[in-house]
Chains A and B, each alone.
Chain A
Amino acid sequence: DSGVTQTPKHLITATGQRVTLRCSPRSGDLSVYWYQQSLDQGLQFLIQYYNGEERAKGNILERFSAQQFPDLHSELNLSSLELGDSALYFCASSPHSGGARNEQFFGPGTRLTVL
């Protein structure tokens, strides 16, 4: 158990809908990262937040957005969903925003299926 929690575990929805994925980082970690993993693909970095502020952005679609709240939990919002958005979405956390010994620890993921 990495200490990172994600809800829900599974999510099934229809095209055009909007969903929210939730992540709670490990106790004491200030950074949260979101990744997308499609079938048989590697992990694609989406976005990073550190202590409530956006710190780095990857290949995140404009239909997707995220935020980190004062209690450090984070939410990833996916809107106008398309079939191709079906994937595993992982959240990871680390103690700092960058720098030395800043390993990322992953949550169990949310499997999103868009029908």
Chain B
Amino acid sequence: GQQLNQSPQSMFIQEGEDVSMNCTSSSIFNTWLWYKQDPGEGPVLLIALYKAGELTSNGRLTAQFGITRKDSFLNISASIPSDVGIYFCAGQVRDSGNTPLVFGKGTRLSVIA
């Protein structure tokens, strides 16, 4: 079945630093979504990507849909303490049927003030 490898598993960074994380797939995806989850809460959608090569920003967050359609990247600039949480990538094969989202195992981000 489809698998997503998300890296790194965890990161410790200083406040103000930039962050990069990525997700790779063994299959081609037509949709990439990035979510953030705070402890005990539901994942919150950050960015959605629908086209190979697409680069989309949401404030200090920027995500890219890889050209091969097998990977995606999320960058956070000038990190702040509230960026702490787990970031999940999710991919989906968009077709006429129903294919559920496949989630990566997450990147746990810790920000040191």
Centre residue among A2, A44, A106, A107 by max chain B CB count within 10 A: A106
Chain A residues with CB under 8 Å of B95's CB are 98
A109 B45 Cβ-Cβ under 8 A: no
B98 A50 Cβ-Cβ under 8 A: yes
Chain B residues with CB under 8 Å of A98's CB are 94-99
A111 with B40, Cβ < 8 A, contacts A48-B98, A48-B100 known: yes
**Which of B42, B99, B106 is close to A109, meaning CB atoms less than 8 Å apart?**
B42
B42 A103 Cβ-Cβ under 8 A: no
A101 close to chain B: CB less than 8 A: yes
**Which of B44, B45, B99 is close to A56, meaning CB atoms less than 8 Å apart?**
B99
Q: Can you give 7 A-B contacts (C-beta < 8 A)?
A: A43-B90, A55-B98, A56-B100, A92-B42, A98-B94, A100-B94, A109-B42
